Amino acid sequence: MTDRPLTLMAVHAHPDDEATGTGGVLARYAAEGIRTVLVTCTDGGCGDGPGGVKPGEPGHDPAAVALLRRQELKESCEVLGVSDLEMLDYADSGMTGWPSNDAPGSFWQTPVAEGAARLAELMRHYRPDVVVTYDENGFYGHPDHIQAHRITMAALELTALTPKVYWTTAPRSMMQRFGEVMREFHEDMPEPDPAEAAALAEIGLPDDEITTWVDTTAYSDQKFDALAAHASQGENIFFLRMGKRRFGELMGMETFVRVQDPTGAVTPENDLFAGLR
């Protein structure tokens, strides 16, 4: 037996990612006395600058954006009760196809072995019982999300640890509902072209392939407030437009695919720590 607390480690790409996909579980498990560790891999410097100025436009200063987003991330962590924040501080690579993808020092250009070695050290320090990150496609293809997946899985191989490992996902049924709500709040939103529609249809998984459904409805207000802490990126955070009630209805359930489990807990499960307590 050990008095070491159960520990959840979430590995995310950018400031604000922690709130979107895992804000509910971070808040819930913190409230249940579980140690919650957030690893954020990039500095978020490709986010919006003051007034919504975009990367590459006059007035966009990646260093200043990164500094502001660091503070916003700390505020989000306070809202969610995150016990430990670790920042790898790689340069944000930007969206797929942006010139920043190829910039020296960007997360996308960082050798997986280098990032994995740094993350493995954090894993050895915190000894997580549960690790959460993205799937092989970074959920929707973002380079930094894919890289976060790669270094997480490589880091696990470097350690002797055997945590439960999960990838974030979304049920296709929810993605369909999400599309309907987006149109409700964007009446002038054009219909996606067939290629975009096909790509959107492939995001997430069929409901019966999801192993883990965690009800975080009771913490949806915290999740909303954590997203709101990233005020500089408000233009890009659609969820803030729907208000807390609608947000809780749509975002109260967080879903995952379990890819490693030493406990043999039966699936589908409703707790990332099933089999551990």
**What's residue 236's pLDDT?**
75
> What are the distances in angstroms from CA 206 to CA 40, 178, 198, 211, 227?
28, 15, 15, 11, 27
Whole-angstrom Cα distance, residue 24 to residue 18?
A: 9
pLDDT of the residue at 1: 45
Task: Let me know: does 18 contact 80? Beta carbons within 8 Å.
Answer: yes
Distances in Å between the Cα of 25 and the Cα atoms of 38, 184, 245 are 12, 27, 18
CA distance 130 to 165: 6
Judged against a pLDDT cut of 90, whether residue 28 lies above it is answered with: yes
Say if residue 181's pLDDT is above 90. Answer: no
CA distance 20 to 239: 9
Mean pLDDT throughout 232-254?
Answer: 86
DSSP per-residue letters across 215-254: E-GGGHHHHHHHHHT-GGGGGG-GGGGGHHHHHHHHHSEE
Question: Model's pTM, two decimal places?
Answer: 0.91
pLDDT at 250 over 90: no
Output the average pLDDT for the chain: 91
At 198-226, the pLDDT tens digits run 555 567 888 999 999 999 999 999 999 99
> Closest by alpha carbon to 151, among 41, 21, 15, 37?
41
> Helices 220-228 and 62-80 meet at what angle, rounded to 10?
160
In the predicted structure, residue 2 carries a pLDDT above the cut 90:
no
Q: Look up residue 187 and give its DSSP letter.
A: T
